[in-house]
A and B are shown apart, each in its own frame.
Chain A
Amino acid sequence: MDKTISLDEIITLLTEKYEGYLVKVEDSLDAAIRVKDHLFFQVAKELKDEHGLDFLTDLTAIDLEEGNYRGIYHLMSWKPYRLLRIEVDVSGEEPWLPSITELWPAADVQEREAFDMFGIIYDGHPNLTRILLSEDFEGHPLRKNYITKSRRK
């Protein structure tokens, strides 16, 4: 496989291969794809092994309200420089995503952070515990329904 093909070509290849499960995110400033959660691990592995997007540069999540969350991953390759965002929608009180620590040890601390802040369960993570907040902290503060108390009077 050619590991230097452009992002557009990669996206075309993937959308054809996983038709119905993987779409290109239109009107996005960065190149981005959205993939169904059960295929995410496979797609990430494929991008790493076959398309040379082998550097996990960022992992986070976002609360879309009403119990919907989105896992956000940024993969990149250094030379040539390419940056691809992968979005994975999940929902529920205990949203669930496959862990990618197997592919990138870099995901370890970042998945723990996302678990801490959003309560997303990363299945397969070796040590999914709170990282920035204390263990007895209640709730997940970056959820939109977590209201911070104002100290202003």
Chain B
Amino acid sequence: MSIAEDKILRTEELTLNMGPQHPSTHGVYRAILVLDGEYVQNMENVIGYLHRGMEKLAEARTYPQFLPYTDRLDYAAAMLNELGYVQAVEKLMGVELPERAEFIRIIMAELQRIASHLVMIGSFALDLGGFTPWMYCFRDREKILDLFEMVAGARMTPAYMRVGGVMEDLNQEFIPELKKFIDSMPASFEEYDNIVTGNEIFIARTKGVGVLTAEKALAYGVTGPNLRAAGVDYDLRKVTPYGIYEKFDFDIPVFYNGDSFDRFVIRIEEMKQSLRILEQAIENLPGGPIQAKIPKVIRPPKGEIYHQIEGSKGLLGYFIASDGSNKPYRIHIHGPSFVNLGALPEMCTGLMVQDVVTTIASIDFILGEVDR
């Protein structure tokens, strides 16, 4: 063997632990990356750090007692989790809701969707090194949380919905404050566009990065904005309207590249549509009771139900099996983040490490919902 030959650089695979204490992993999530230089050869998700055994806990709680637990699933979208849960129980019991309750629920759900998307776009920009947009988004999100505090007394974990209606009626200041919020948003969208969407660095780091095609997305069960950014116009609010969504006029934004950039922009567009729904809800908000007549002790008849709603991250499903008692026999929570995360290794293989950070941020998962 010659000396020159001996000095040839040899490369070998490197295993890199990303997380669970890495700021760009959005909570306690760990990825094991197998790297060839800067490129990801293989990726493995390690989750469960936040597992609290929600489904087991539910079996020892009554139906109303479990409601506050749902707030802690996707803690950036508590109202939507509650909505899915109470609607599932109502479906099981066959409860009809007063119209005002339905409208209030829609207002809360759409506000929550905006709040959740604001977290996503703020933290996305933050992960790519932009701190200012994060402050802008949280400034606007704070207004929504203030509105929640006004009606429910809590910002993040409102426990506002009830089986058969909502906890309390809107107070006098709520609608004027909500209108103020809606009026303030167009200026904010302009700010987001100026500071993030039109930013050269942001575009360079997100366009064409972490592409998820429509076929792959459907095969992996990916839903929500991540699916719609891949060119599929599937939104449960249109496909099979639950609650009273059929009364509202709104569009489903669709983007076609399926890359991180599209997954970002679609969320801004969805917020605009949510504002349209809010405007219509305020305009048509009827009077009347906010709670249907339901028995004091909730004992759904024996049977099983699967109910799903369009959460902020995708299809949020509740499977409830009742044995006729006041406690659920089994509750299964289908968290969209859990399934969306399952597609992440496939999306990240072949990317550079910096693009993995981008892709993780663009998927928008919340570990509370992944680990349950």
Q: What are some 17 contacts across the A-B interface (CB < 8 A)?
A: A29-B305, A55-B218, A56-B221, A57-B334, A58-B332, A60-B319, A60-B334, A62-B321, A85-B306, A104-B219, A105-B342, A106-B219, A106-B221, A108-B342, A109-B338, A110-B338, A146-B56
B341: Cβ under 8 A from any A Cβ: yes
Binary per-residue interface labels of chain B (297-338) against chain A in the complex, 1 for a CB within 8 Å, 0 otherwise: 000000111101000000101010100000001101010001
A-B CB proximity, top 4 nearest: A106-B221, A109-B342, A132-B48, A81-B240
**Does residue B207 face the partner (Cβ distance < 8 Å to A)?**
no
A28 within 8 A of B: yes
B321 / chain A contacts, CB cutoff of 8 Å: 62
Task: Judge if A72 is at the interface, Cβ distance under 8 Å.
Answer: yes
- B47 is contacted by which of A55, A110, A131 (Cβ under 8 Å)? A131
CB <8 Å contact, A28 and B304: yes
Tell me if B360 counts as interface (CB < 8 A to partner A). Answer: no
* B202 interfacial by beta-carbon distance below 8 Å: no
CA distance A67 to B232 in the complex (A): 42
Residues of A within 8 A of B304 (CB): 28-30, 32, 85
Q: Are B220 and A29 in contact (CB under 8 A)?
A: no
Residues of A within 8 Å of B315, CB to CB, are 57
Q: Which residues of B contact A60 (CB under 8 A)?
A: 319, 332, 334
Contacts of B339 in A (CB 8 A): 106, 109-110
Given A55-B221, A74-B306, A142 contacting B48 (CB threshold 8 A): no
A residues lining the B interface (CB < 8 Å): 27-30, 32, 54-58, 60, 62-63, 72, 74, 78-79, 81, 83, 85, 104-106, 108-110, 113, 117, 130-134, 141-142, 146, 148
Q: Which residues of B contact A (CB under 8 A)?
A: 47-48, 51, 53, 55-56, 60, 91-92, 218-221, 234, 239-240, 303-306, 308, 315, 317, 319, 321, 329-330, 332, 334, 338-339, 341-343, 346, 371-372
Determine if B48 and A133 form an interchain contact, defined as CB atoms under 8 angstroms apart. Answer: yes
Beyond A55-B221, A63-B330, 8 extra complex contacts between A and B, CB < 8 Å = A29-B305, A56-B221, A57-B221, A58-B308, A74-B319, A106-B221, A109-B339, A131-B48
Are the CB atoms of A148 and B56 closer together than 8 Å?
yes
CA distance A54 to B217 in the complex (A): 12
Residue in B47, B319, B346 whose beta carbon sits within 8 Å of that of A132 in the complex: B47
Nearest neighbor of B217 in chain A, beta-carbon distance: A106
> Bound complex: CA of A78 vs CA of B240, how far in Å?
9
- In Å, the complex CA distance between A108 and B343 comes to 10
Q: Determine whether the beta carbon of B221 is less than 8 Å from that of A104.
A: yes
Residues on B with beta carbons closer than 8 Å to the beta carbon of A54: 218
Specify which of B51, B332, B371 lies most central, judged by the most chain A CB atoms within 10 Å of its CB: B332
Which residues on the A side are within 8 Å of B338 (C-beta)?
109-110, 113
